[in-house]
Amino acid sequence: MKGRYPIDRQFGIWAKFTPSLSRGFLRLAAFFLPLMPKGLSDRRVNVTRVTFEKGGKALLIAAADCAENAPCLVCFHGGGFVFDAARYHYENAKRYALMAGCKVLFVRYPLAPGNPWPAPNDACLAAYRHALSHARELGIDAEKVAVGGDSAGGFLAADVALRAPEAGLPPPCFAMLIYPVIGGEETPSMRRFTDTPMWNARLNAKMWEYYAAGNQVILPGIRDLRAFPAAYVETAEFDCLHDEGARFAERLAAAGVSVQYNETKGTMHGFDAARKSAAAVKAVKERAAALRRAFEEQ
């Protein structure tokens, strides 16, 4: 029964919310979520629209006083591969830009079930390629381009990091993976958390049904992670994806990759939807600090 998990009360209504993956709910979300980017620009932040191949669209988010030739985070939002970005995704992107001193190319990729694998992956790789090939036009430093994302966006960020070399592209300088989907194995947290709020094993299974569309989808090169970029990996405690993220961080470390692992406590998947909660504020600061360090070390 729901509510038996000691999730911190600071998350309010979000600790009681669970989305539906019914096609009717997805159609409703597809109508409302694209309205979320409106009003993002303010005195602190400038937002411009970017388009690129593979049906991709993006927003370039930068501090109003951001210098040219700035580092860049190519950011892929979560949403189970089926939902467009929510308001907190955009607000977090603004925070990363302001706190990490970088520009954020916030990617809106094609969504399942209408656009299953490999369409989202190809669009995200195209966005990364665009950031590199149009670096001067975008005002970014092509040698300081990181990838990042939460949940399904974490999977897409890892996919880009692993596919970039085979696509003839330099690897990203850093990867920021927030409670990521990794897949590929059954885990204790996936077996345990079948009814947690925000996301759970039942929804996760439906996600794979929509996204994989009958294909066996795994991260390319997952068995050899030695070439993976330095990374920040964050997990939520009461999350069916907890063990996937934790094990991925362990595998990166075992492969000799520099990895910072942040195992948040009292949290559920997507806890940073409660943007003003202490846990969300702290997590965003840690992510931005990791980004800033990575850019400074290049």
**Residue with the two structure tokens 């019914």:** 22
d(CA 105, CA 240): 28
CA distances from 15 to 33, 147, 245 (A): 20, 28, 21
The residues with which 260 forms a beta bridge, in sequence order, are: 232
For helices 87-100 and 278-296, give the axis angle rounded to 10 degrees. Answer: 50
Annotated catalytic, 239?
yes
Lookup result for tokens 């369409």: 119
Q: Identify the active-site residue in 84, 130, 151, 243.
A: 151
Helix axes 119-133, 152-163, angle to 10 degrees: 60
Told to judge if 269 belongs to the known catalytic residues of this protein, a careful annotator would answer: yes
d(CA 102, CA 125): 20
Q: Where are the beta strands (DSSP E) in 77-171?
A: 103-108, 140-150
Q: Which of 141, 239, 243, 272 is catalytic?
A: 239
Sheet hosting strand 56-63, strand order edge to edge = 45-52, 56-63, 103-108, 70-76, 140-150, 175-178, 231-235, 259-263
DSSP code for 79: S
Task: Output the six-digit token pair for 79.
Answer: 């949403």
Catalytic residue of the set 77, 242, 269, 272: 269
Q: Is 241 helix (H, G, I), strand (E, B) or coil?
A: coil
> Which positions are annotated as active-site residues?
151, 239, 269
